């Protein structure tokens, strides 16, 4: 479909779409700042040597547990109270938690605040994607996902540069300040027209249990979650613990986690653009996602098995791994398109956070397999299994590219 350029710009640069994109920018800044400052912040709190990995896993799991719980709570609120209430409520919570993270003095405080930050971070993306999917015409939803994804990944890249310029505590303060500044725009953003129309109908909204009690909806919901798990295996394990993988590869010079995160998400920024354009070109969500899942698995094999002689080569692998991971927002768009307006925010917010939360058992399995299979074959076994399950789940999901968003689940 040929769409006039001016009309496309007018749709894509509406204030709600821009706020959703900027919200994800700040969301991603905080979400991956911990990956960047994990080692220096833990060392500043007295953690050294072999304890850096298990303590880092524990704090990451606390954040992911918060994401899991927050994903359900914010999703329900998004369908009951509106997309905007969740969009700005989540930004406020994670901004305040970010500032508080910069004030921690021991591991217990750090763990509690990562959990609270996780709850806050759980709401923004799902509410933003839902708002964008409902505001934009169906032929522009892929472009909307590109805009949101690109801004979000730029936030992760900014986290690296801020952490490189400032101490880890100041890096948290910067993230909190950016989020609070974004709240100024809340008074000029309008709610989704589909949600406004939904409020006039006598239909239950945000009923999470209805996802679990209806076999057809439960099937779609579980398949959508399984489809996305490889995304956070890459982010939560392969990239977050890149210093450990670098040592395992025999590199003499240590890998800097922050640099690996920055390069991975620079790659993902390009991947998000390419996957969105590919979806538009193929007129299909499923075909584009399938291509990227297969690319991601191929890159996992290279990352874990290829002989690496230089740190520059390892960092290049991180960037390529990030590119192949560039279907995150397209996956959430597909999840949002699978369900009606009265459950859309619940699904779009909770599904990505169940995917993030899946990193908790995956990191536990990663640590458990490490003594017997090491840092090569343990992750390889986990990655192969979840990629197989993901492709199977994608196969059984419906195509949603041309689906009309104006319907409800009854």
Is residue 271 over pLDDT 50? yes
How far is the C-alpha of 40 from the C-alpha of 281, rounded, in Å?
44
Number of domains present in the structure of the chain: 1
User: What is the reported pLDDT for 281?
Assistant: 92
Question: In angstroms, rounded to a whole number, what is the distance separating the alpha carbons of residues 225 and 219?
Answer: 10
Does 409 reside within a domain? no
Q: Could you give the percent of the chain with pLDDT greater than 90?
A: 42
Query: What's the confidence (pLDDT) of residue 11?
Result: 74
- Does 1 reside within a domain? no
Contact, 390 vs 227, CB < 8 A? yes
- The distance of Cα 168 from the centroid of its chain, to the nearest Å, equals 22
250, with CB counted inside 10 A (0-12, 13-18, 19+), is exposed
Could you give the dihedral angle defined by the CA atoms of residues 224, 67, 132 and 202, in that order, rounded to the nearest 10 degrees?
80
Residue 404 inside a domain? The answer is no
For residue 197, being part of any structural domain is answered with: yes
Within-domain flag for 122 = yes
CATH number at residue 329: 1.20.1250.20
Please check whether residue 75 lies inside any domain of the structure. Answer: yes
Question: 385 is in which domain, residue-wise?
Answer: 11-396
> What is the pLDDT, as a whole number, of residue 24?
86
Q: Is residue 408 part of a domain?
A: no
Question: Is pLDDT above 50 for 316?
Answer: yes
Is 401 contained in some domain?
A: no
- What would the pLDDT profile of 158-198 be if each residue is shown by its tens digit? 888 898 899 999 999 999 999 998 888 766 676 777 777 77
- DSSP 3-state percent helix, strand, coil across the chain (nearest 5): 80, 0, 20
Model-level pTM?
0.82
């Amino acid at each position: 479909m040929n769409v006039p350029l001016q009309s496309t710009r007018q749709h894509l640069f509406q204030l709600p779409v821009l706020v959703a994109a900027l919200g994800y920018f700040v969301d991603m800044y905080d979400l991956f700042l911990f990956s960047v400052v994990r080692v220096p912040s833990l060392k500043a709190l007295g953690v050294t040597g072999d304890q850096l990995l298990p303590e880092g896993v524990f704090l990451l799991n606390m954040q992911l547990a918060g994401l899991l719980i927050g994903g359900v709570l914010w999703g329900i609120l998004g369908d009951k109270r509106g997309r905007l209430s969740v969009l700005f409520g989540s930004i406020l919570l994670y901004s305040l938690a970010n500032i508080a993270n910069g004030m921690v003095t021991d591991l217990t405080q750090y763990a509690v605040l990562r959990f609270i930050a996780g709850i806050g971070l759980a709401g923004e993306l799902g509410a933003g994607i839902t708002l964008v999917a409902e505001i934009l015409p169906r032929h522009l939803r892929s472009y909307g996902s590109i805009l949101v994804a690109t801004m979000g990944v730029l936030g992760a890249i900014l986290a690296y540069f801020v952490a490189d310029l400032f101490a880890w505590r100041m890096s948290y303060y910067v993230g909190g300040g950016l989020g609070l500044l974004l709240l100024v725009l809340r008074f000029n953003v309008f709610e989704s027209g589909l949600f406004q129309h939904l409020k006039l109908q006598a239909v239950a909204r945000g009923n999470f249990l209805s996802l679990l009690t209806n076999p057809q909806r439960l099937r779609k919901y579980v398949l959508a979650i399984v489809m996305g798990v490889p995304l956070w295996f890459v982010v939560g394990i392969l990239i977050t613990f890149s210093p450990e993988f670098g040592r395992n590869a025999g590199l003499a010079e240590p890998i800097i986690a922050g640099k690996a995160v920055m390069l991975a998400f620079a790659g993902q920024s390009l991947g998000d653009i390419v996957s969105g354009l590919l979806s538009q070109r193929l007129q299909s969500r499923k075909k584009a996602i399938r291509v990227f899942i297969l690319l991601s698995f191929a890159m996992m094999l290279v990352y874990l098995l290829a002989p690496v002689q230089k740190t520059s080569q390892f960092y290049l692998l991180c960037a390529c791994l990030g590119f192949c991971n560039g279907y995150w927002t397209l996956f959430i768009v597909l999840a949002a398109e699978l369900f009606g307006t009265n459950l859309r925010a619940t699904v779009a917010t909770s599904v990505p956070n169940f995917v993030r939360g899946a990193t908790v058992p995956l990191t536990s399995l990663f640590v458990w397999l490490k003594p017997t299979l090491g840092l090569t074959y343990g992750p390889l076994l986990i990655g192969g299994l979840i990629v197989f399950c993901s492709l199977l789940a994608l196969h059984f999901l419906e195509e949603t590219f041309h689906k009309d968003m104006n319907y409800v689940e009854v």
